[in-house]
Amino acid sequence: MRLLHTSDWHLGRAFHRVNMLGAQAEFISHLVATVRERAVDAVVVSGDVYDRAVPPLAAVELFDDALHRLADQGTPTVMISGNHDSARRLGVGAGLIGRAGIHLRTDPGACATPVLIPDATGDVAFYGLPYLEPALVKDEFGVSKPGHEAVLAAAMDRVRADLAERPAGTRSVVLAHAFVTGGEASDSERDITVGGVAAVPSGVFDGVDYVALGHLHGSQVISERARYSGSPLPYSFSEADHRKSMWLVDLDAHGFAAAERVDCPVPRPLARIRGDLADLLARPDLTAHEESWVEATLTDPVRPDDPMARLAERFPHTLSLAFDPQRAPEDPDVSYAQRLKGRDDQQIAEDFVTHVRGAGPDERERAVLREALDAVRIDDTRREVAR
Ligand SMILES: [Mn+2]
């Protein structure tokens, strides 16, 4: 049995100001081609199909297209809902869609009812654990102390109990959307929990042959038999070093046999560059990034004029601009009161401009500050008189 493991498509999500639907459609085509060319027996999608509970129409249409193309391949597919999906909305029509071989598992109560897919040596049982929000499912699983570990452990107890009843030699795959201890996050997952400990020890998933994890957006190996596929596309610059991919996993008669990484198409590489604006516009080693999506951090001590337009002349795909001016640190031993001592309001205001911009106010700006301070003083005087 050969399965293809992917997750975190986040259909409808943008990358900064770039609409990613075209890249997402290209990924779907790549997925379908991989299923065909690599003789895949089952596809598993471990949550976050969509980016939000109510996705834009174009994302719903792309998902519809993906379902049709997967069904046309005749390759069974198992999908779960993630923390970004609305389980109820994603699950609409699941019964009918299931007849076409696409199994949407969005009901926590059904997590121990597997999708059985046979190969030459018997059945492989696919258990889809949709994202389990502890506060919402603690009664369903009868756990007294709510938390990700408690509800996932209870769900896995049900899975192992079901598996124990099946014929010897039945192999098992679990799909789960969770933050497993030891996994490395990026900036684009968005919090899986509000308060409390989100991470779940990997031992919770003991007893099955492969755990197809979703939620973390970087491809990673928790153990040989428990892996994150990561998202097929980057959704933050923190993923600049990621290699976006899927796992092609082979199960033999005894369980896990091998896993191979299959790269996803790269719509445009990411680059994080840092330095003074003049350097970034001149450095020869940055030529390779001229066509990349760029995040630039400018270190100029004085904020340069019109930095975005100037950067865009060399790096037309600059999407993010940050400032981290490199200046001599202020003496931390001097207290705020000491620094203000003997300085009038005008001087303090001018110091503030220098502090935030790196350069003090020019003559015109000084006049504006003076006028503003005068206006406040006049206002105060009027109020005194009125009293
Ligand atoms: Mn996700």
Model confidence over 348-370: pLDDT tens digits? Answer: 999 888 887 778 899 999 999 99
Ligand 1 centroid from CA 36, angstroms = 26
Helix (H, G, I), strand (E, B) or coil at 326: coil
CA 217 – CA 93 distance, rounded (Å): 28
CA 332 – CA 97 distance, rounded (Å): 65
Ligand 1 centroid from CA 349, angstroms = 45
pLDDT at residue 79, as a whole number: 97
The predicted model scores a pTM of: 0.86
CA 243 – CA 239 distance, rounded (Å): 9
On whether residue 334 sits in a domain, the answer given is no
Ligand 1 centroid from CA 216, angstroms = 6
On whether residue 133 sits in a domain, the answer given is yes
Whether 70 and 198 map to the same domain: the answer is: yes
Whether 245 and 135 map to the same domain: the answer is: yes
Closest C-alpha among 81, 146, 85 to residue 110: 81
Ligand 1 centroid from CA 233, angstroms = 11
Per-residue pLDDT of the chain (387 residues; tens, 9 = 90+): 999 999 999 999 999 999 999 999 999 999 999 999 999 999 999 999 999 999 999 999 999 999 999 999 999 999 999 999 998 899 999 999 999 999 999 999 999 999 999 999 999 999 999 999 888 898 899 998 878 999 999 999 999 999 999 999 999 999 999 999 888 888 888 766 544 568 899 999 999 999 999 999 999 999 999 999 999 999 999 999 999 999 999 999 999 999 999 999 999 999 999 999 999 999 999 999 999 999 999 999 888 989 999 999 999 999 999 999 887 766 667 777 887 888 888 999 998 888 877 788 999 999 999 999 999 888 888 887 776
Whether 79 and 149 map to the same domain: the answer is: yes
Whether 249 and 285 map to the same domain: the answer is: no
CA 296 – CA 318 distance, rounded (Å): 7
Ligand 1 centroid from CA 215, angstroms = 4
Whether 31 and 122 map to the same domain: the answer is: yes
On whether residue 117 sits in a domain, the answer given is yes
Ligand 1 centroid from CA 191, angstroms = 10
In the listed set 222, 244, 263, which residue is the last one of a domain according to the structure? 263
Whether 254 and 276 map to the same domain: the answer is: no
What amino acid occupies position 276? D
On whether residue 35 sits in a domain, the answer given is yes
CA 56 – CA 220 distance, rounded (Å): 30
On whether residue 255 sits in a domain, the answer given is yes
Whether 290 and 259 map to the same domain: the answer is: no
Whether 123 and 201 map to the same domain: the answer is: yes
Ligand 1 centroid from CA 357, angstroms = 37
Specify the number of domains making up the chain: 3
Ligand 1 centroid from CA 267, angstroms = 19
Q: Which domain holds residue 371?
A: 345-386
pLDDT at residue 77, as a whole number: 97
Whether 55 and 177 map to the same domain: the answer is: yes
Write down how long the chain is.
387
Ligand 1 centroid from CA 377, angstroms = 54
Whether 288 and 253 map to the same domain: the answer is: no
CA 163 – CA 111 distance, rounded (Å): 12
CA 117 – CA 362 distance, rounded (Å): 74
In the listed set 242, 263, 284, which residue is the last one of a domain according to the structure? 263
Whether 320 and 214 map to the same domain: the answer is: no
On whether residue 338 sits in a domain, the answer given is no
Whether 289 and 153 map to the same domain: the answer is: no
On whether residue 340 sits in a domain, the answer given is no
Closest C-alpha among 104, 133, 143, 237 to residue 191: 133
pLDDT at residue 197, as a whole number: 63
In the listed set 246, 263, 280, which residue is the last one of a domain according to the structure? 263
CA 269 – CA 293 distance, rounded (Å): 6
CATH of the domain at 28: 3.60.21.10
What are 109-136's pLDDT values in tens digits?
Answer: 999 999 999 999 999 999 999 999 888 8
On whether residue 223 sits in a domain, the answer given is yes
